[in-house]
Amino acid sequence: MKIYMMLLGALIALLTGCKKEETIPEPIYNPLSGVYDGQVTYFGLYASGNVDPDYPVETHPVKFEIDGAKFNRAECGCTGSIVVDENQATAHFISSSKACEDGGSSNGQSWSFTNDIMGKFGFTIHGDTLELLGIPGSTKNPANMQKRIIAIRQEF
């Protein structure tokens, strides 16, 4: 008797068109989403906000992709998540365990800049140009080091 009830239920579902509806999750909106190519610049900064001339300014190329709540630096396998606060114009990059390194300073210093785009940044975006400016104390660089990333969105 049980089998007949199950078959009857299946027949009713078949005749009425009942089926499991597959849902596609909505992508997470992020105004910064896209594939970027640009440069990261490191410089020393006094607590007063003035540039420290004793630290040499360094610039390195950087490529990355932001896709909703995820980011990726394909050239070194560094991935993680990103949290964007449009009201405060901040972006917080959170890394996976793999860091991206620039291999220290080209000026002979012992710095090793890991995770080029890790930490919390203020951002501005004009057209396809994104500027990220590190918020002091939120990155993995020495406390008096600052970084600015200027990158052009190549595609969405």
Write out the residue range of the structural domain in which residue 101 sits. 27-155
Q: In this structure, is residue 52 part of a structural domain?
A: yes
Dihedral pair phi/psi, residue 2, rounded to 5°: -60, -40
Tell if the pTM clears 0.85, that is, is over it.
no
Q: In this structure, is residue 18 part of a structural domain?
A: no
Q: What angle do CA 33, 28, 71 make, to 5 degrees?
A: 45
Contacts (Cβ under 8 Å, ≥6 apart) of 7: none
Q: In this structure, is residue 81 part of a structural domain?
A: yes
Q: In this structure, is residue 3 part of a structural domain?
A: no
CATH of the domain at 71: 2.40.128
When divided into structural domains, the chain yields a total of: 1
**Length reported for the chain:** 156
Q: Residue for token digits 């490191």?
A: 42
The pLDDT assigned to 34 comes to 93
Q: In this structure, is residue 5 part of a structural domain?
A: no
Question: How many Cβ atoms sit within 10 Å of the Cβ of residue 100?
Answer: 20
The pLDDT assigned to 152 comes to 93
Q: In this structure, is residue 13 part of a structural domain?
A: no
Query: With contact defined as beta carbons under 8 Å apart, do 35 and 155 qualify?
Result: yes
The pLDDT assigned to 35 comes to 94
pLDDT in tens, the chain (156 residues): 667 666 666 666 666 665 556 666 666 778 889 999 998 888 887 777 788 888 878 888 888 899 988 888 877 777 788 889 999 999 988 866 555 554 444 444 434 444 456 778 899 999 999 999 888 777 655 656 778 889 999 987
The pLDDT assigned to 143 comes to 59
Contacts (Cβ under 8 Å, ≥6 apart) of 123: 32, 84, 89, 90, 91, 130, 131, 132, 133
The pLDDT assigned to 110 comes to 37
The pLDDT assigned to 105 comes to 44
Q: In this structure, is residue 20 part of a structural domain?
A: no
The pLDDT assigned to 24 comes to 62
